Structure formats: C-alpha cells, structure tokens
Amino acid sequence: MKTHALHPWDLSPKEAVRLQRELASRVIREGDLPEDAVRLIAGADVAFDRPRGRAVGAVVVVAYPSLEPVERVTVEVPVTFPYVPGLLSFRETPIVLEAFERMDSRPDLLMVDGHGLAHPRRFGYACHLGLLLDLPAIDVAKSRLIGDAGTVAGQRGSRADLGDGGEVIGSMLRTRQGVRSVYVSIGHKVGLAAAERWVLACAAGYRLPEPTRLADRLAAEAKRRMLDATLEILIEQRAGERGRWEWDPVDGEIAYKHDLTPMLTHYGCSVDILNPADGDLLDVMLVDDAARGRGEHLSARVIDVLERSDGDHKLLAIPLDGRPELDGVRERIWAWYVDQRKPVTRWGGEDAALALIRECRVAQDAR
C-alpha cells in the first residue's frame, strides 16, 4: 500500500510540535462514507518492548459488513522517537506505516486506538495517519487526553460532546451497555456524527470496534512472539574466523578447540539455555553486518533453526539493532554444513525455533 512522505521523521520534539501545528490545517473535518462505498476497514495498533527500545506495529483489515478479518500484517522495528506526551504519533506512526506499506489491500476507512482532533494542537495520531495514508480516519480511544464531557447514559449509542475551549473536539460514546464509553474524534475526511455511526456499526458486542480490537490483540500476540524469540547470546567466534572457539561457563573463558573452516556468520550460544541433546548451551548463528568481538554479549532475535539428526540444532538470529541482508544466507549456511559433513536435515522455520527454545527451557526447569 502506498503512503505519502509529508515530512522527515528525524525531528526534535520542538520541531515535531511546530509540524503538528502546520499539518493540523490540512486535516479535513467533514465527510461521510455511504455504506455501499465501504468494503474494507483497517485497524492499527502498536505494542512496545520498552526495555529494548523496539515495538510491534499491527494492522488488521476486516471486510464490511461481516467484520471478518481479511488481512493481518505485523512488523518489528526499533523505536526512534522518545516518549513525549502530545507527540505519541511521532513515536507510533512510523511503526504502523511500515505495516501499511506491506499490505496488499487498500482499506476504505481507518480506525486507530489513539487521539485525533481531541488533541491540544488538534493533530493527534488519527489525523497524522489519515494524512499520510490519504484515508478517512477515525480516532477511537479508551481514555481521554483533553477536554470536558458530560454524562453518558447506560444505553448503547448514548453520547456526550467532548469540548475544549468552547470547541467540540469529539465525543464520549457508549458502544455497549454496562461498559465504559470510548472517546471518538475526527481523524481525517470524516465528520464526527459519521465517525460515531461507523464506530457503532463496527462494535460487534465489545467495547471497542472490531478493527481496533483485533489490531490490539494482534499486536499483543506479535509482541509475545517477539519476546519469546529474543535471546541473550554470547559471541564465541566471529564470522570469517578460522577455528572453533567455545565458551566455557565454568572457567568463564572462550577457548580455542580445534581447526575449522571459517563460518559465514558470527557463532555463539545462549547465555542461559541448555540444549538437552548435548548438555551444552544452545547454539546460535548470528547474521550481522557489524563486526563483533569474541566474548561480546548482545540481544538477538531468533528467526529460524537449522535442524540436525543428532539434536544439536543451530538457531539462526539477527541483532535487534540491525537488518542484515538475508537473501541466500540459509542456502550458503546449509552448503557450509554439508561441506563439513554435518548431519543437517532441514531449515525448520521460526515456529520450530520457538518450539525448540520452549522445549529447552522446560527440560532445564525440570532438572
């Protein structure tokens, strides 16, 4: 899906505030979408791994009116903008944009769990995404950023204006009886009344409309998968280095073991997971464009596993702070192992790699 590059992302917070004020004038605050013009609705959400400075962006596209999912996309990317209240769109939008760029379909309407017009500078997350994607966009937030609202009755569809400085910037809307209201505001190309109608049309028995509810769930699932596939590893030998070097956790040293044709990747091990097949720390091959030092510790994201008939499987990983070229890497690694007469059987894929990590942890906990 095509996105529009309206501005650079390497901005300071002060520059981002100035840009918000400039772009706010480009937001279209009116518009409606007849039901027969809407076939696909997208929801977007982000989940953060704050300790490691990365995030998952998730987009779910549902068919309308069935609200059945037709496309799901997730991405894992480094976070490049700090947490600053009022500037969250500069932290989250680049992440979600990457997911949209990988989508095959183009939705007719966008819903996001974030603020739109209901923002101090009238330019929140929904406005930002709406402009960049050139899509009608609606903000459906679980909490209030600014504004004063009246009381909302208990029935589904009850509403109250959300005001700020004498201006109606959104509404409180009850999507289901017996649950808290959501906050709705204009993102782009949709008026407030139309936005409320679409939120209610997509709220299929839950507090949140299906597009954002499913995107939130997908982001949470993708984050759990990302965390499960993240290992702390130690580099035993560097790519292109001759010989086999091995970490001895008892002595706390890396020792030379024997001669070996240089490997194509950095090679190391998990710092805390034993492989029950051989009783040694789980082996990891790191594909990385950066030079690494022998004995260096780092976090790595596991993406595959090279399975062997003897159970001495080798995980394939990439660093969290880089995106190395992976085209042809598996084929070259496979050829190296075959040339060394190692008993490799297949590349198992990410699911098999995660299963191996879980099995090793369970076996280790059972000891």
pLDDT tens-digit map of 176-208: 988 889 999 999 999 999 999 999 999 988 999
Domains of the chain by residue range: 13-215, 228-366
- Give pLDDT, residue 239: 95
DSSP 36: G
- Give pLDDT, residue 42: 98
Instruction: Give the pLDDT band (50/70/90) at residue 232.
Output: very high
Q: What are phi and psi of 339, to 5 degrees?
A: -65, -30
Instruction: Give the pLDDT band (50/70/90) at residue 337.
Output: very high
Instruction: Give the pLDDT band (50/70/90) at residue 151.
Output: confident
> Is the peptide bond between 65 and the residue preceding it cis, with omega within 30 degrees of 0?
yes
Q: By the 8 A CB rule, do 65 and 209 touch? A: no
Is 13-215's fold the same as 228-366's? no
- Give pLDDT, residue 111: 97
Helix (H) or strand (E) holding 230: strand 230-237
Radius of gyration of the chain (CA): 25
Name, in order, each residue with C-beta under 8 angstroms of 150's C-beta and a sequence gap of 6 or more.
160, 161, 172
Tens-place pLDDT, residues 6-64: 899 999 999 999 999 999 999 999 999 998 999 999 999 999 999 999 999 999 999 99
Q: Given the structure tokens 């569809």, which residue do they identify?
A: 157
pTM of the model: 0.90
Question: Across the strands, what pairs with 41?
Answer: 62, 109
What DSSP string runs through 133-192? HT--EEEEESS-SS-EE----SSTT-EEEEEETTEEEEEEE--STTS--EEEEEEES--H
- Give pLDDT, residue 224: 97
Please state the CATH superfamily assignment of the domain spanning residues 13-215 in this structure. archaeoglobus fulgidus dsm 4304 superfamily (3.30.2170.10)
Name residue 170's amino acid.
G
Compute the C-alpha angle 17/23/24, nearest 5°: 90
pLDDT at 228 over 90: yes
Query: What tokens were used for 49?
Result: 């791994």
**Level-2 CATH architecture, domain 228-366:** Alpha-Beta Complex (3.90)
Helix axes of 13-24 and 125-133: crossing angle, nearest 10 degrees: 70
Q: By the 8 A CB rule, do 258 and 265 touch? A: no
Task: Tell me how far apart the alpha carbons of residues 248 and 257 are, in angstroms, rounded to a whole number.
Answer: 11
Q: By the 8 A CB rule, do 192 and 167 touch? A: no
Helix (H) or strand (E) holding 93: helix 88-101
- Give pLDDT, residue 329: 96
Q: By the 8 A CB rule, do 312 and 278 touch? A: yes
Q: By the 8 A CB rule, do 57 and 95 touch? A: yes
**Burial level of 296, CB count in 10 A (0-12/13-18/19+)?**
middle
Q: By the 8 A CB rule, do 286 and 235 touch? A: yes
Question: Across the strands, what pairs with 261?
Answer: none
Q: What are phi and psi of 331, to 5 degrees?
A: -65, -40
**How many CB atoms are located within 10 Å of the residue 255 CB?**
11
- Give pLDDT, residue 250: 81
Name, in order, each residue with C-beta under 8 angstroms of 42's C-beta and a sequence gap of 6 or more.
59, 60, 61, 62, 100, 107, 109, 110, 111, 135, 211
**How many CB atoms are located within 10 Å of the residue 55 CB?**
26
pLDDT at 322 over 90: no
Instruction: Give the pLDDT band (50/70/90) at residue 150.
Output: confident
Residue-averaged pLDDT of the chain: 94
> Is the peptide bond between 107 and the residue preceding it cis, with omega within 30 degrees of 0?
no
pLDDT at 5 over 90: no
Instruction: Give the pLDDT band (50/70/90) at residue 323.
Output: confident
Name residue 284's amino acid.
V
Query: What tokens were used for 322?
Result: 């880089």
pLDDT at 90 over 80: yes
